[in-house]
Amino acid sequence: MNNIKTVILLGILTGLFIFIGGMAGGRGGMIIALIFAGIMNIAAYWFSDKIVLKMYGAQPVSEAEAPEVYSMVNELCAAANMPIPKIYIMNEDSPNAFATGRNPNHAAVAFTTGIMKLLNREELKGVIAHELSHIRHRDTLIQAAAATIAGAIMFLAHQARWFAFLGGGRSNDDDDNGGILGLLAIAILAPLAAMLIQMAISRSREYKADLGAAEISHNPEGLASSLEKLAYYSKRVPMEASMQTAHLFIVSPLSGKGVFNLFSTHPPLEDRIARLRAIRLG
């Protein structure tokens, strides 16, 4: 059911982008937006992992440099019967982690130095299992596509606002883009709609990844305990992150930052912890 919901939401997100193109440029704008959406999704498929890793200064580490992490990753990948992802470290005090990549054969998991110092072995295994679950279910590709389209919608809406202020709008009945008022409405409402859709996609995948982590690690308490610590320390040691990529992290780096918390791409940590502690593995 979650997969069907995600496909529908991605379709709505793409449709919204094409609709904005139509409002800004009529049928020609819709066609351009459709072509652009296709190009963006291709780019997200092939390059999103490299872009986000570079964005956060993540550096690859060898097994000799991080033997404990590799030991846990190897153990959990064997349990999940999946390929071993590349391991990256971010020189960042705020405790967090994320996974990226287009499929299980081309994936990476990145950890901040802060999370490696904060968590004990069982807690870190829970985090690793959560990220492996994202990779296993191809959430990393879905989230990259959602982030790419949502970011483009926000950019296009910003341009539409300036276009409206400068007197944009066409009166041609065959190629009507809705006029200045229509452009202003889109400029205000489209980013909000994109954020809500992206939030809905990410939240459903987080719950699924938590459950998958419990199954892979056979220890839901490890992840529950790590989330408790992350909830406390991530707010006290803030991390610079963009709204378009915040959904990638195991806990939102934007949590507690005023209005951003209203549009968090993550479910409430208290709810995630409660669900994990209610799991009874056979």
Question: What residues does each domain of the chain span?
Answer: 2-278
- 2 pLDDT more than 60: no
- 177 pLDDT more than 60: no
16 alpha carbon, distance to own chain's centre: 19
Distances from the Cα of 277 to the Cαs of 65, 226, 262, 266, in angstroms?
A: 34, 12, 25, 18
Tens of pLDDT along 74-88? Answer: 999 999 999 999 999
Q: Using DSSP bridges, classify how beta strands 97-103 and 86-90 pair: parallel, antiparallel or unpaired.
A: unpaired
pLDDT at position 245 is: 81
> Active-site residue among 68, 92, 123, 131?
131
Tokens found for residue 76: 């959990």
Exposed, middle or buried: residue 45 (CB in 10 Å: 0-12, 13-18, 19+)? middle
Q: Report phi then psi at 251, rounded to 5.
A: -125, 145
- 115 pLDDT more than 60: yes
Q: Report phi then psi at 57, rounded to 5.
A: 65, 30
Q: What is the mean pLDDT of residues 38-56?
A: 82
- 153 pLDDT more than 70: yes
The band of 160, judged by pLDDT with boundaries at 50, 70 and 90, is low
Catalytic status, residue 215: no
* Alpha carbons 132 and 104: distance in angstroms, whole number: 9
Q: Which residue has the higher pLDDT, 27 or 166?
A: 27
